[in-house]
Amino acid sequence: MIIDGKKVAEELRAKIKSDINKLTGNQKPGLTVILIGEDAASQIYVKNKEKFANEVGINSTVIRFKSSISEEDLKNQIRKLNNDNNVHGILVQLPLPKHINQRDIIETIDPKKDVDGFHPINVGNLSSGNDALVPCTPLGCYYLIKKVVPNLSGLNAVVIGRSNINGKPMTQLLLKENCTVTIVHSKTKNIEEICCRADLIIAAVGIPKMVKSNWIKKDAVIIDVGINRIEVDGKNKIVGDVDFDEVQNKVKAITPVPGGVGPMTIACLLENTLKAFNKISGNAPQ
């Protein structure tokens, strides 16, 4: 089975749109994205975020800065947004230029408006099992997994990659569902052997087609977070961290790249923006 992330994301956006339409009062959720520099991939992501935000009824603004902006000027801009009652979600697109300290920038964002879920308060709340804004990509993976396997209790899950954006929060979400979670990374010995025991694999490493057929157990569920641009016969192609063609007949379900996790990330950003809006406005959760 191929998991249709595009369709699941469409359904989630439709639900968000309907929830926003039902809001009483004259305020709409507001999302501000800060984009620094000219990184090509970031430009595309931000354009899509803006398009889908507006489609569901979120007031979306993009603030662009040259990569020469100072860290202090960027922090002052974030502080302004923290105090702006029309802004409920703030996202600073990563990566940042080298002279800016990513951790200090993330910690400047009001945790209530941190729709990326990267602030230590949200990270801590997620790992303590409290209500939190959860990073969008692992949250999207989680929704896709639950579509295929509603009860995850007791499953062996292997998360490949230990980033703050994906691997670590993914692990927390799976632990909450009573999975037995193993994180493997660049220094792990015998990755293949560990993956072979997994009922569920989430690959988020950024290495094209790293996960091969002999890495997986028959009927495993595979979630591929990778978006890798490679050249095949002189043409640019986007592939995941999993060798899709090789594994697809061995799995129970797998996400394609593109059209799997990618569309879910943006839908979850919109969901987080609505959640932040509801919390800030004192609305009951939808």
Residues in contact with ligand GUN by CB under 6 A are 91-94, 116, 136-137, 165
Annotation says 93 is catalytic: yes
Residue placing its CB nearer to ligand GUN in the complex, 95 or 129: 95
Residue placing its CB nearer to ligand GUN in the complex, 116 or 199: 116
Which one from 49, 113, 168, 209 is the annotated catalytic residue?
A: 49
- 3 state SS for 176-237: HCCCEEEEECCCCCCHHHHHHCCCEEEECCCCCCCECHHHCCCCCEEEECCCEEEEECCEEE
**What span, in angstroms and rounded, lies between the C-alpha atoms of 111 and 121?**
6
Which one from 110, 116, 224, 243 is the annotated catalytic residue?
A: 116
Residue placing its CB nearer to ligand GUN in the complex, 16 or 191: 16
Residue placing its CB nearer to ligand GUN in the complex, 92 or 239: 92
3-state secondary structure of 65: strand
Smallest gap from Cβ 232 to ligand GUN, in A, equals 24
Residue whose beta carbon is closest to ligand GUN: 94
Beta-bridge partner residues of 200: 157, 221
CA distances 219 to 108, 199, 242, 254, 284, Å, are 44, 8, 15, 10, 40
Smallest gap from Cβ 95 to ligand GUN, in A, equals 7
The DSSP bridge pattern shows strands 156-160 and 89-92 to be unpaired
Which one from 93, 172, 199, 209 is the annotated catalytic residue?
A: 93
Annotation says 49 is catalytic: yes
Amino acid in position 143: Y
Smallest gap from Cβ 204 to ligand GUN, in A, equals 11
Residue placing its CB nearer to ligand GUN in the complex, 133 or 136: 136
Note if the bond before 258 is cis, omega within 30 degrees.
Answer: yes
For residue 218, give both structure tokens.
Answer: 């028959």
Residue placing its CB nearer to ligand GUN in the complex, 88 or 220: 88
Smallest gap from Cβ 63 to ligand GUN, in A, equals 13
**155 near 180, Cβ under 8 Å?**
yes
Smallest gap from Cβ 116 to ligand GUN, in A, equals 5
- Find the helix or strand (DSSP H, E) in which 53 lies: helix 40-56
Annotation says 116 is catalytic: yes
Number of Cβ within 10 Å of residue 120's Cβ equals 12
Smallest gap from Cβ 117 to ligand GUN, in A, equals 9
Note if the bond before 120 is cis, omega within 30 degrees.
Answer: no
**75 near 104, Cβ under 8 Å?**
yes
Hunting for tokens 């993914």 — which residue is that?
170
Catalytic annotation, residues:
49, 93, 116
